[in-house]
Amino acid sequence: MDYELIEARGTIIDQFMVLYHQILSSQKKFLINHGVTDITVQDVHILETISLSNKPTVSSLANVTSVTRGKITKGTMSVELKKLEKLGYIEREKSKQDRRVSYFALTPKGEAVMEIHDEFHEALNDKVAKYTSEVDTEVLIKSLDALIGSLDKIK
Amino acid sequence: MDYELIEARGTIIDQFMVLYHQILSSQKKFLINHGVTDITVQDVHILETISLSNKPTVSSLANVTSVTRGKITKGTMSVELKKLEKLGYIEREKSKQDRRVSYFALTPKGEAVMEIHDEFHEALNDKVAKYTSEVDTEVLIKSLDALIGSLDKIK
DNA sequence: AATAAAATGTTTGACAATCAAACAATTATT
DNA sequence: AATAATTGTTTGATTGTCAAACATTTTATT
């Protein structure tokens, strides 16, 4: 059976990879089950970033999103934001101070998607809580945090 | 600063996402630093799967790779394998029993890439060991394992 | 045996994501 | 004022991917 092949390695890193794609696939289904069919999980993540940011711009969104999604150019972000605006999930407001930039915000339609997204997040965190004790979770968060900062030292 | 925005959430799930992309980006740099420039991290992962599999075929590789990378069709895998063959990283041998299938194996050039990949894996595991105690690692693996199986129950 | 069904792999056409570079508009620096 | 830097948009090319059509071969059914 194929699964054995994965287990044979058994390192945390491999499990991360599997878990990552499972979360993504699970989230995809969740969104579709809740009627969100015209945008992707990654689009939802942009909505999330907008909702958590203070006066987000094209560039700031490209930078922040890079952290959780891998490098993204401002050109790509510009295109994605235009799409999300056209679909009615976000709106832009021109800055008064700097006439080159616009600030983005969620529309009610965008907020609705965020609620669905938060539901998923809660369900996921419940799973984590169920399969990891509170103490372990604490330890885990600290470990990951330290790990995250140390990766760029690998040469 | 942007990083605060990520930390504000502070859930394990968010850290997974960040960590995942950091590992990917770190691995990418590592490969380039070691002279592997004509194939991607995902290609290397296919090489890894081939090296760990017993008589891998197009279909079996498509299935196994789906677990760690998300759904992949056999058509896509067929194209990717053709590319890796043309670049000299793998070779195929026709099956005697079933004349539709071929089995894939690494060439010496492919093995060399795997050694580089293993080096990265070791460096990564060293980091994990450094920032996570042995007991915690044990706990962690078990938690993740349980978590992985439970995700498709989210509706 | 003959025929139908299933499995394996390849190819193809279309589509979506992305980048890098060119560009325009605006702001900052000298 | 003149030049440089920043911000955002657009564009053309590239890449990754899928779904479907297809050919070949094997397995099942009649």
Give the phi and the psi of residue B57 in degrees, each rounded to 5: -115, 175
Percent of chain B with pLDDT over 70: 92
A1-21: per-residue pLDDT in tens?
Answer: 333 343 334 466 777 788 888
State the Cα–Cα distance between residues A66 and A115, nearest whole angstrom: 23
* Nearest nucleotide (C1') to alpha carbon of A75: D9
Give A3 or A96, the one with higher predicted confidence: A96
A-chain CB neighbours of B21 within 8 Å are: 67-70
Residue A49's CB is within 10 A of a number of other CB atoms, namely: 21
> A74: number of CA atoms within 13 Å, CB side?
6
Q: In angstroms, how far is the first alpha carbon of chain A from the final one?
A: 36
pLDDT at B92: 97
B96 CA: nearest nucleotide by C1':
D25
B-chain residues near A13 (CB < 8 A): 23, 121, 124-125, 128
Q: Give me the A residues in range 111-150 that sit within 7 A (CB) of strand C.
A: none
Using the Cβ of A4 and the Cβ atoms of chain B, whether some distance falls under 8 Å is answered with: no
Q: Which residue of B has its CA nearest to A14?
A: B68
pLDDT at B142 over 50: yes
Please report the pLDDT score of residue A9 as a whole number: 41
Q: Please name the residues between 98 and 137 in chain B that touch chain A, using a CB distance below 8 Å.
A: 120-121, 123-125, 127-128, 130-132, 136-137
Q: Does the model's pTM come out above 0.75?
A: yes
Q: Does the C-beta of B98 come within 7 A of strand D?
A: yes
CB contact under 8 A, B64 and A146: no
> A121 falls in which pLDDT band (50, 70, 90)?
confident
Residue B92, token pair as written in the block: 């195929």
- DSSP code at position B92: E
Pick the more confident residue, B152 or B7. B152
Q: What is the pLDDT of residue A11?
A: 66
Report, as an integer, the average pLDDT of B82-109. 96
**Helix (H) / strand (E) containing A109:** helix A108-131
Q: Does the beta-carbon distance from B12 to A67 stay under 8 Å?
A: no
- Which of A24, A136, A150 has the CB atom closest to B131's CB atom? A150
Model confidence at A122, pLDDT cuts 50, 70, 90, reads: confident
Q: What is the pLDDT of residue B61?
A: 96
Structure tokens at B99: 């004349």
CA of residue A17 to C1' of nucleotide C21, angstroms: 34
CA of B42 to C1' of C24 (A): 38
Most confident residue range from A1-10, A75-84, B60-69: A75-84
Listed by number, the residues of chain B in 8-67 with a beta carbon closer than 8 Å to a beta carbon of chain A are 8-26, 30, 33, 49, 52-53, 60, 63-64, 67
B2 touches chain A (CB under 8 A): yes
The pLDDT of residue B10 is above 50: no
The predicted pLDDT at position B6 comes to 37
pLDDT at B87: 95
Structure tokens given for A23: 């979360």
pLDDT reported for residue B7? 37
Rounded Cα distance between A143 and A109, Å, is 37
Across A63-67, A118-122, B44-48, B110-114, least confident range = A63-67
What pLDDT score was predicted for residue B154?
80
Coil vs helix vs strand at A92: strand
The pLDDT, as a whole number, for residue B2 is 39
Query: Residue A89 gets which letter from DSSP?
Result: S
Instruction: Give B41→chain A minimum CA distance, Å.
Output: 13
Q: Cβ(A65)–Cβ(A72) under 8 Å? A: yes
Q: Does B15 score more than 50 pLDDT? A: yes
Beta bridge partners, A11, equal none
Which residue places its CA closest to the C1' of nucleotide D27?
B98
Average pLDDT for chain A: 85
Q: Which of A82-96, A98-112, B18-32 has the lowest mean pLDDT?
A: B18-32
Interatomic separation, CA of residue B45 and C1' of nucleotide D23, rounded (Å): 30
The yes-or-no verdict on residue B82 having pLDDT over 80 is yes
Which of the four pLDDT bands, split at 50, 70 and 90, describes residue B11?
low
Average pLDDT estimate for A97-126: 93
Mean pLDDT of A39-51: 93
